[in-house]
Amino acid sequence: MGLGVDLEEAARPADYYDIFADPRDDEAPPVWGYRAPGCWSRMSVESLEDRICIPILTVTLLATVLISGACIYAAGLNPASFAGGLASYDGIDPGLPGRIVSPAFGVALRMNNTCVDRANVVVAYAGVALGWARAEPWDCEEERRTKEVEVVAKGDGVGMPEHLRDRMAEEWRRSGTLELDVEVEIFRSSDSDRAAGDFPRKVVTCKVRLDGQKSETSACEWYALEHPNDSRG
């Protein structure tokens, strides 16, 4: 028709392979969303580029495994733990305890790799509470995860039955020491905690020695409590 256009050729739809020609070809039209193939997609191609790519992948995978292992190992070396000791006592004569006593015990608590916002502390002998205290270090928001806190657990007008007084006096005369139990309820505050009420997250139990001297802190047993709002049920 004089325009020099082959109508048959113009009407032919673009071939599929023409549209998705190799984008690395400078003359090929760009394809939306194209990204150069990575190392994994070129593993089957024998080229100098692939011989370089394979060692890079190996080193990357090895580094990932080593870093992950190091993190797990470090966490295992420094798990959450608690230790307790007795710094002082007053208001009670272990060798001759009175029927009514008002003792005060200085309790040292050390926390490692954990934090405490609030804690209820009770000091007991043979299952009878002799002193109690409330500690509020408020450490969790500031991420202080290793700390030693000293609290004074006091009892005011605690009645001691005769069998308990006799047991305490006998133990003191025999060994010059008393073994006391320290129970600590650990709280971590959050909006969900407040919604569920005053619910502890952990309970810690320690054995401390009363002998007139400051006792070194020793490892305490502890277990975590399940929060009422936890999805674990």
CA distance 196 to 193: 5
Mean pLDDT of 183-212: 78
pLDDT for residue 135 is more than 80: yes
* Average confidence score pLDDT of the chain: 74
pLDDT for residue 13 is more than 60: no
Residue-wise pLDDT tens digits, 43-71: 454 554 555 555 555 555 565 545 544 44
pLDDT given for residue 227 in this prediction = 63
Highest mean pLDDT out of 6-20, 21-35, 107-121: 107-121
Fold classification of 81-224 (topology level): Immunoglobulin-like (2.60.40)
Residues contacting 53, CB < 8 A, separation 6+: 39, 42, 43
Mean pLDDT of 75-97: 86
Q: Is 126 exposed, middle or buried (0-12, 13-18, 19+ CB in 10 A)?
A: middle
Q: Name which of 39-53, 104-118, 121-135 the model is least confident about.
A: 39-53
pLDDT given for residue 131 in this prediction = 97
pLDDT given for residue 156 in this prediction = 95
pLDDT for residue 90 is more than 80: yes
pLDDT given for residue 196 in this prediction = 46
Residues contacting 8, CB < 8 A, separation 6+: none
Q: Where in the chain is the domain with CATH 2.60.40?
A: 81-224
Q: Name which of 72-86, 151-165, 188-202 the model is least confident about.
A: 188-202
At 27, the pLDDT band (50, 70, 90 cuts) reads low
pLDDT given for residue 185 in this prediction = 93
Task: Tell me which amino acid residue 112 is.
Answer: N
